[in-house]
Structure 1
Amino acid sequence: MASDLRETRVGGQELFKGDFLHAMRDRVRLPDGQLTQREYIVHPGAVMIVPWLQGPDGSLQLVLERQYRYPVQQTIVEFPAGKLDPGEAPLVCAQRELREETGYTAREWARAGLLHPVVSYSTEFIEVWFARGLQAGERRLDEGEFLEVFTASPEQLYAWCRDGEITDAKTLIGALWLQNVASGSWSLNWQPADPAA
């Protein structure tokens, strides 16, 4: 039988509250009864989309983005993604973010799973969604948001992951899901898009 590894909050304080992130320091009781501190970031959660596009020759192409990420001072290749608005359903967020960032809408959607990218210091979770049957449209980037949209083959994506050119955790997980779905090892439950989305 597994032992109880839970830590229990006994107090805490807010360290910082910004427009996006919220930093906390909690006092917690460990499984052995000792007390310690845990500092962490409260995050509203996010979605990531793995968009499938049919190439002119019928081959599968993926819609990706290049975006400068200030904390790491690098331009990062990643799948489209964005944070949840208060009370927003993850699929609605995925549809909104795909449209805003890339201009594409999708006829079909499938939820792949959930990931926690930084469990040691953040509450952040990211729902992974696949989108297919893409139709091009106009992008509506947020003010101050700059990114380049491009397409690549799955083979290019896997090579960039292997060679360390892609280091974004959520995109690496997206590539893992894609590889397993493409091989037939994992399946997706596709659903039509909500016509109102």
Structure 2
Amino acid sequence: MDVSKPPFGDDDAHLRETTVSSQTVYQGHFLQLKRDEIALPDGGRAAREYVIHPGAVMIVAVLPDGRLVMERQYRYPVRQTMIEFPAGKLDAGEGGLACAQRELHEETGYRARRWARAGVMHPVIGYATEVIEIWFADELTLEQRHLDEGEFLDVFAASQDQLEAWMQAGQLTDAKTIVGMMWLQRWRAGHCQFDWQTVD
């Protein structure tokens, strides 16, 4: 049995919803709010409201001593300063690796010589199209960081044990960072292998 594939295949016709009409309710700087009328699998109708997001990356950057590069940033919607792995949204036409390299350097000042794509996550499937690519980076060198205008964040290093303790205590609650921790734990335990690429 191949445990890497779900046992139900592609048979989802009885679950699928189809678009009847679509309306843009709000167009912001980089987010768009849509309201669609949809047909349900049983023939009924319903409304779906959701956010169009350009996509993003998150970087699990490993320092030579094994600690991780972390950030503290105030997130206005939840009115809290959050502990997070470095992350950022894709620019138009930008690939995941290019975005990860750019965001890591801009936000933290670090450049990485080796990169590996771990996977993807959909953080808010109920109301947004956002997809986050999860990248690992190592062989780091520190340069000057270049924050965007209006961007304020602290950069620090933490061990895996510290991050796990903060998660347990409810002090680290950012979903993408928790998923990054899952990948980190599996990688360090030898349960998954990455296809590393060297970037000069």
Alignment of 1:94-109 (within 5 A): 94-109=100-115
Runs (5+) with no aligned partner, structure 2: 1-7
Corresponding residue SS for 2:157: strand
Partner of residue 8, structure 1: 18
Corresponding residue SS for 1:170: helix
Partner of residue 84, structure 2: 78
Matched, 1:27 2:37: yes
Distance 2:62 2:81 in 1: 23
C-alpha displacement at 1:160, in angstroms?
1.1
Deviations 1:76-97 (A, max 9, x none): 0000000000000000000000
Partner of residue 117, structure 1: 123
Matching residue's letter, 1:144: G
RMSD of the alignment, in Å? 0.9
Partner of residue 143, structure 1: 149
Runs (5+) with no aligned partner, structure 1: none
Amino-acid identity (%): 57
Distance 1:91 1:151 in 2: 22
Matched, 1:64 2:70: yes
Distance 2:181 2:191 in 1: 14
C-alpha displacement at 1:162, in angstroms?
1.8
Distance 1:124 1:53 in 2: 28
C-alpha displacement at 1:3, in angstroms?
4.5
Where does structure 1 differ by over 6 angstroms across 4 or more consecutive aligned residues? Answer: none
| Paired residue total | 190
Distance 2:54 2:185 in 1: 28
Corresponding residue SS for 1:54: coil
C-alpha displacement at 1:164, in angstroms?
1.1
Deviates more, 1:162-171 or 1:90-99: 162-171
Corresponding residue SS for 1:184: coil
Distance 2:37 2:48 in 1: 6
Matching residue's letter, 2:99: C
C-alpha displacement at 1:161, in angstroms?
1.4
TM-score, normalised with respect to structure 1: 0.94
Partner of residue 18, structure 1: 28
TM-score, normalised with respect to structure 2: 0.93
